[in-house]
Structure 1
């Protein structure tokens, strides 16, 4: 139960915050949130299942509410508060704004830090090697070398924090892959790496009582047995942007790996294992020999697949670059070999880890030639990545689907080097979320501005597997904003539906009418292709447009803010990632244009498999799956307009299906109660 002392402490902190801010307003909705979350984590509703789903509209002060409810309890019960989001933007807001504010005014002694995946950090040693030993990076260009030099200077001058999110300029993916941290190069036992960005960041975890991370990292850490974060029973989890948790879990549990062209890197792996037998001390000889044997075993298991794949591809890719296996039923050969390949690839991965430890020992004892250290670690990292990819795919492909279809399985051809990828994704993730998160967690709060679908919790409860769990709490708190007085939704009459061939041309014609001069506009597109097509046409007409992807996100938003401050017309073009987590308060956004309802791509193999599974159970996949998911995305997109109580503006939706289709009214009714202006 929530003790009286804690209740009083929470009230006192709230009063301190109120006294510190001249414009602070008591919000009944926020008080509801604080009480519900605090009682849930204290076990007032259920001693073991301390789980709540909370939908809090924009402006309710959701972040402050869960900080107020969770941090005092976590500190008094020696628990760690772990806040997991889906977007970098919200992580930055929490770490740069919300938590410093709370720390300053709450009068509580606690530390917080941002926890990101290793690959979001650069390895400064690798960056230096790229400049000093370019022969280790034979595929790097002169342009990449120049950018690497600028990055190193920025790090040395403390103008860059060493992570991908604070890059001072855009960096190509190819360059980042060369310099990103990995467990083989960036080992904490090496003195050269003790002060690298990744290990400096990790050192903060032990000293922090509040950790901010992303949902994918949290799931990966839980699967790894809490390798970086505290154990679940010692954590209070707040899953912010909780409507993404199912997709985050499905993405984390998915796998894809190349099926063709393996002989080249397998041959390199064999030569590497042979070279290790010569270069490493005698104590490591058995490990290197065993690695060679296990690689041979994997190659032997792979041979039948290699021989039959050309025949398969002839029938798979007649009309499309993707081929889905109906009911996840693989061809007999792939089904027969999957278990053997999963086992043999896992054995190679295990042996590579053992060899890595032997290499680390040889480095520490100076028994490995200095000039070969970097290339050896680079090769270890490369082969670990290759075999881990294979293991993940073949493990999923080896799981039985006889008692029911639990996966989407497909293959796809990529334009790059005509590669063939094998892919697998779970259809449902309820069991995994229960095992990893909901059962072992001390407490878990899922919150979002759009957790319900069409104003009902039944859809997220079913998706998360919480519909059968005892005492799961649900709470829906409306926004305090006066939507009808401060904003409007305009649906101009459009001739074409977004699926029609002439829709892009019509967009180019009508969009200028809805980009008012002297205002800040955000135009959201459903695809990069369409966004770039429209941007090209409007730029030819003289419009100055800031387009997502052309410069780093933060730089783009800074340019937008600068133009608004100078009272210039500013037009941002963005895709779905700009439809949520983007905070443009006040004059930074007064005109929001949504070009198309954010339906998921109906041709994706995963969507097809999920729809097929619902149909076989007698359901309607469009109404049960597609419409609820799209409705949530539309609410998120409309939530970009009003970020503060004094904000105002207009939303223009250029998709006539909101009026012409039967599901349109339900989607409109799920939106905030803006004044409506419908030209049909």
Structure 2
């Protein structure tokens, strides 16, 4: 049967073309919509790379709504989740006259827990310190919110620690026995999701749900999970699936998790009359004090083991935790914490005069079980310790997720779409979808038919962009690299007049380049003032971490000539179309940190299987990340700009060809003179368009 219902609605004679100003008929979008429609109708797996500008969101939303099936749309971020629900779905409803019957479903940590909120307000010291500043904001909002979603709390600082004390979670939720159950925001969300035909979620929630259902099935509790049953799933930004799933099919015990449980325990004991309401003292709180002391001793000992790890944001803070590390003082510290958690669980169970107290016992028991799984890990698991300042955690992560994904996602669901602007890699080492298939468990004899579709971007990259890859900089490992890279970055910023992202591969590199660049930009502005030529206004230098991500992006867009120095969180999922972003500088090739325990274990597994881990894993993964970084530049047909990769290895090493072949077909050069000429020509064209000069011939 032809699969053209969605295509006819999105095509040149469809409702969008007739009713939406500026709507463009895109052949790639129509092709993708037909492929998605077939996958949903025939229970097929579709791997679809849809280049930037394809319009992939509508290409999967329209067939999903038309399918009549219960479809989960899973995205990489809550921001994209919100965009789909508040922008794209209303567009479909308005122009196609289709009722999406959609529900926006976020992880429990996004919703206010009325019980925890009440316990916090009545606990000793509720109005002091951080709580004294943030609690009034939450109190005022709680009186008027209908959804209880923290995204509505615009005046609460991003990452405010008080939110963790009042947010819902799988560990703190009581269910139907809670006195707030009928008013609960999570209850409402779950009822909405059961009634909806289209669920908009993110990958974290999807895999949290899958992990809960798998654990429930092992214990004989069918139906346990965060999401209701569904018929199909569409993964947008599917290149992130392995990394996100790894977190949910491993186990982590952190100092923050233990501290949160103990604070909730003290509040539950007070609220239940098991501890003095004024002084906060009682038998239970005495036990929590002992648990806190033994936990601190264990985490301090673990910190000394992992303290040599770096402080980057690509896993550099993790170091291996071998099974034989659990001996001597470390093993003694673990046993003390285990004994005290057992005592807390026993006390809470024996005095369970409220559901909140019983929940303390459950959480203490779960912490014991999780820690034991790390100390004595299962096969296909690698254990590690992570240290970021006082934040310390230890955990176990799966090495290979392929079998699990094949069995519990692809073969169980059947109709699965994986899409992103970056799923394929170039060159013979990872051609096409080969790398994705190998990581998703789709390179074996999967029982569900698999289709592949590459939809190129409609953008004219040879006209719109120049890729500059200099050969004359030091090696990325050279001590002189940072200074020379800062010199070249400043030169490039001078050519474009700012409007630049400088994307780094670690926090350490980001800070070093930001400091060096600040000196150079200040010097350039001073020289310009002294020469009496240009006004000498220094381009504003923004650095990740100086403000929340959203605030940095808003300022970057408004300034129009700013320079933003950032790490991996800005390599993807950031959309700055137009003149504000015209230069993307990539510091180094984004290889995964080889010493990270999970990366090292995966490379070892490939090597033991007879493969070359660098070629089979590291290079394809870097190619996808590099494509994401390049993709920040051209976001609309009218965008023009330069991408500079300062790591000479892309030109001098054999694997550089794979990376280059993975990138869009922009014009390429290794000469700074060509960069100047490209930008001068671009400026001339822009002036001609404004009517100020004849166009170039």
TM-score range normalised by the length of the shorter chain: 0.7 to 0.9
Cα gap change, 1:643/1:551 in structure 2, threshold over 3 Å: closer, same or farther? same
For residue 588 of structure 1, give the secondary structure of its aligned residue in structure 2. coil
Contact 1:115 1:211 in 2 (8 A): yes
Residue 503 of structure 1, aligned match among 481, 490, 493 = 481
Alignment partner, residue 656 of structure 1: 648
Q: Deviations over 1:276-310 (max 9, x none)?
A: 8979xxxxxxxxxxx9xxx9xxx9xxx9x999999
CA distance in 1, matches of 2:608, 2:601: 11
Q: Deviations over 1:518-572 (max 9, x none)?
A: 55222211122332333344445254223323222222222223223xxxx1222
Residue 324 of structure 1, aligned match among 320, 323, 329 = 320
CA distance in 1, matches of 2:256, 2:465: 55
Structure 2 length-normalised TM: 0.76
1:269 Cα offset (Å): 8.1
Matching of residue 443 in structure 1 with residue 415 in structure 2: yes
Structure 1 gaps of 5+ residues are 44-48, 280-290, 361-376
Contact 1:160 1:168 in 2 (8 A): no
For residue 514 of structure 1, give the secondary structure of its aligned residue in structure 2. helix
Contact 1:155 1:162 in 2 (8 A): no
Matching of residue 434 in structure 1 with residue 409 in structure 2: no
CA distance in 2, matches of 1:228, 1:98: 24
CA distance in 2, matches of 1:637, 1:524: 8
Residue 610 of structure 2, aligned match among 597, 614, 618 = 618
Residue 212 of structure 2, aligned match among 224, 227, 233 = 224
For residue 112 of structure 2, give the secondary structure of its aligned residue in structure 1. coil
Report which stretch shifted further, 466-475 or 267-276: 267-276
1:393 Cα offset (Å): 4.2
Contact 1:128 1:152 in 2 (8 A): no
Structure 2 gaps of 5+ residues are 214-223, 276-283, 310-316, 523-537, 673-697
For residue 440 of structure 1, give the secondary structure of its aligned residue in structure 2. helix
Residue 105 of structure 2, aligned match among 105, 115, 120 = 115
1:40 Cα offset (Å): 1.9
Cα gap change, 1:29/1:354 in structure 2, threshold over 3 Å: closer, same or farther? farther
Cα gap change, 1:274/1:466 in structure 2, threshold over 3 Å: closer, same or farther? same
Cα gap change, 1:155/1:492 in structure 2, threshold over 3 Å: closer, same or farther? farther
1:57 Cα offset (Å): 0.9
Contact 2:142 2:148 in 1 (8 A): yes
Contact 2:211 2:249 in 1 (8 A): no
Report which stretch shifted further, 484-493 or 251-260: 251-260
Contact 1:345 1:390 in 2 (8 A): no
Alignment partner, residue 157 of structure 2: 170
Alignment partner, residue 591 of structure 2: 599
Alignment partner, residue 135 of structure 1: 124
Alignment partner, residue 457 of structure 2: 479
Matches within 5 A, 1:299-338: 324=320
Matching of residue 50 in structure 1 with residue 44 in structure 2: yes
Alignment partner, residue 621 of structure 2: 629
1:353 Cα offset (Å): 10
Cα gap change, 1:159/1:560 in structure 2, threshold over 3 Å: closer, same or farther? farther
Q: Deviations over 1:491-522 (max 9, x none)?
A: 23453233233323333333222224655222
Contact 1:486 1:647 in 2 (8 A): yes
Q: Deviations over 1:356-407 (max 9, x none)?
A: 99624xxxxxxxxxxxxxxxx3x66666445434423423654554xxxx22
Contact 1:410 1:605 in 2 (8 A): yes
Alignment partner, residue 221 of structure 2: none
CA distance in 2, matches of 1:523, 1:346: 47
1:354 Cα offset (Å): 7.9
Cα gap change, 1:215/1:277 in structure 2, threshold over 3 Å: closer, same or farther? same
1:672 Cα offset (Å): 0.3
Cα gap change, 1:204/1:136 in structure 2, threshold over 3 Å: closer, same or farther? farther
Contact 1:434 1:465 in 2 (8 A): yes
1:124 Cα offset (Å): 5.5
Contact 2:556 2:563 in 1 (8 A): yes
Matching of residue 512 in structure 1 with residue 512 in structure 2: no
Aligned-pair Cα RMSD in Å: 4.6
Report which stretch shifted further, 256-265 or 539-548: 256-265
Cα gap change, 1:329/1:35 in structure 2, threshold over 3 Å: closer, same or farther? farther
Contact 1:13 1:107 in 2 (8 A): no
For residue 436 of structure 1, give the secondary structure of its aligned residue in structure 2. helix
Contact 2:7 2:30 in 1 (8 A): no
Cα gap change, 1:82/1:347 in structure 2, threshold over 3 Å: closer, same or farther? farther
Contact 1:521 1:572 in 2 (8 A): yes
Contact 1:489 1:676 in 2 (8 A): yes
Alignment partner, residue 359 of structure 1: 354
CA distance in 1, matches of 2:112, 2:132: 15
Cα gap change, 1:123/1:594 in structure 2, threshold over 3 Å: closer, same or farther? same
Contact 1:497 1:657 in 2 (8 A): yes
Residue 463 of structure 1, aligned match among 418, 433, 439 = 439
CA distance in 1, matches of 2:344, 2:16: 52
Alignment partner, residue 72 of structure 1: 66
Structure 1 length-normalised TM: 0.78
Cα gap change, 1:262/1:194 in structure 2, threshold over 3 Å: closer, same or farther? closer
Alignment partner, residue 282 of structure 1: none
For residue 600 of structure 1, give the secondary structure of its aligned residue in structure 2. coil
Cα gap change, 1:265/1:71 in structure 2, threshold over 3 Å: closer, same or farther? closer
Alignment partner, residue 369 of structure 2: 391
Contact 1:545 1:573 in 2 (8 A): yes
1:238 Cα offset (Å): 0.2
Q: How many residues align?
A: 618
Contact 2:111 2:186 in 1 (8 A): yes
1:10 Cα offset (Å): 5.2
1:117 Cα offset (Å): 0.7
